[in-house]
Amino acid sequence: MAKFSFTQDLGIDLGTANTLVYIKKKGIVVREPSVVAKNNSTGDIEAVGSDARNMIGRTPGNISVIRPMKDGVIADYDTTATMMKYYIRLAQKNRSPLAKKPNVMVCVPSGITMVEERAVIDATKQAGAKDAFPIAEPFAAAIGAGLPVWEPTGSMIVDIGGGTTEVAVISLGGIVTSQSIRTAGDDMDDAIIQYIRKKYSLMIGERTAEAVKMEIGSAGGRLDIETMDIRGRDLLTGLPKTITITAEEIAVSLKDTVNAIVDSVKNTLEKTPPELAADVMDRGIVISGGGALLTGLDQVIAEETKMPVFVAENPLDSVAIGTGKALEYIEHFKSHPHIASHSSIN
């Protein structure tokens, strides 16, 4: 396939949790949380990215911290466009003032509706793109993870982000079967919050829950018996309180989310044509996205599917690298605008 080179063009992983910007030959130049802090009285943007994320749960009444993406799609259109504009400018800070507007390859969940996809394209243009090309997230993740997506062989990718888990089998530059569920890392954090509230009557914030997940969370219980002290507000007394929780308890709280992810992998395998399923059996399943870093998730998927499972080299970067590399094949995306046409959504 002919390659087209657009040196100023960008690949953007517009994620529920993180937004990454990739520039050809430079790689990932922006890696920031998808968070914006706004002043409620003036409407002014107070902070974007990690500065805004540090304000979560700590703002006075006149400032709101917004996560404008939810479940992989735009929940707050204007704030998303403002955030993207900020990141595009940041990525191009040394750009010549005479340079043309960039073409942008931007990822979208494979189960997205036409209206949701249109919103991503429009927001990307509003943020300063000359043109915006949507790419299905699992397709980008597979390219970024180095899978042979253009070859006549089945490659299976499972991308577990903040808002969505995307499972797809890809062959010959197209998605053959896929499933997108709106369950991923954010639901794990929620599950931890609910568990601690129910069992200990302790209210913890989402940043604490995420830290617990990363530090002692696992998909199936850890062999090392680890504990962690966490602080929150006692719902009975209203006062701050510290408790010690075990890794075992957190594994229990994450069970439903982990099962939902495993089920979506199994469902996709069941719908995969036999030749391609045989390829996946030989080559294994690759998992990417931040959720792939959950301890033991690869083993649980391997046990449940009886297939080898590998974690992508840089799971948090796979989608961004894939959107950037896909710019080289922009003509393919122009002629296949709906690479996600065989997908289903739950």
Ligand X SMILES: Nc1ncnc2c1ncn2[C@@H]1O[C@H](COP(=O)(O)OP(=O)(O)OP(=O)(O)O)[C@@H](O)[C@H]1O
Residues that bind ligand X (CB under 6 A): 13, 15-18, 72, 137, 161-164, 184-186, 210, 213-214, 217, 289-291, 293-294, 316, 319
104 is in an annotated binding site: no
Residue at token pair 């950037």: 324
Nearer to ligand X, 17 or 65 (CB): 17
CA distances from 72 to 17, 266, 273 (A): 9, 22, 28
Q: Compute the least distance from the CB of residue 149 to ligand X, in Å.
A: 18
Q: What is the dihedral of CA 192, 194, 200, 206, to 10 degrees?
A: 60
Nearer to ligand X, 80 or 164 (CB): 164
Q: Which is nearer to ligand X, 72 or 102 (CB)?
A: 72
- Contact at 8 Å (CB) between 133 and 328? no
Report the alpha-carbon distance of residue 226 to residue 281 in Å, rounded. Answer: 34
Residue 113 is assigned to a ligand binding site: no
Q: Output 181 or 277, the one with its CB closest to ligand X.
A: 181
Known binding residue 217? Answer is no
Residue 322 is labelled as binding a ligand? no
Nearest approach, Cβ of residue 274 and ligand X (Å): 30
63, 41 Cβ separation under 8 angstroms: no
17 assigned binding-site residue:
yes
Distance from C-alpha of 44 to C-alpha of 69, rounded to nearest angstrom: 19
- Give me the least distance between CB of 32 and ligand X, in Å please: 10
Q: For residues 258 and 158, is the Cβ–Cβ distance under 8 A?
A: no
Hunting for tokens 């974007």 — which residue is that?
48
- Ligand-binding annotation for 290, yes or no, is yes
Gyration radius of the chain's alpha carbons: 20
Pairing state of beta strands 27-33 and 10-14?
unpaired
291 annotated to a ligand binding site: yes
CB of 25 to ligand X, least distance (A): 23
For ligand X, the closer of residues 68 and 153 by Cβ is: 68
What the block records as the tokens of 125 is 């243009």
- Closest distance of CB 341 from ligand X, Å: 20
Annotated binding-site residue numbers: 16-18, 162-164, 210-213, 290-293
Which residues sit in the known binding site for ATP?
Answer: 16-18, 162-164, 210-213, 290-293
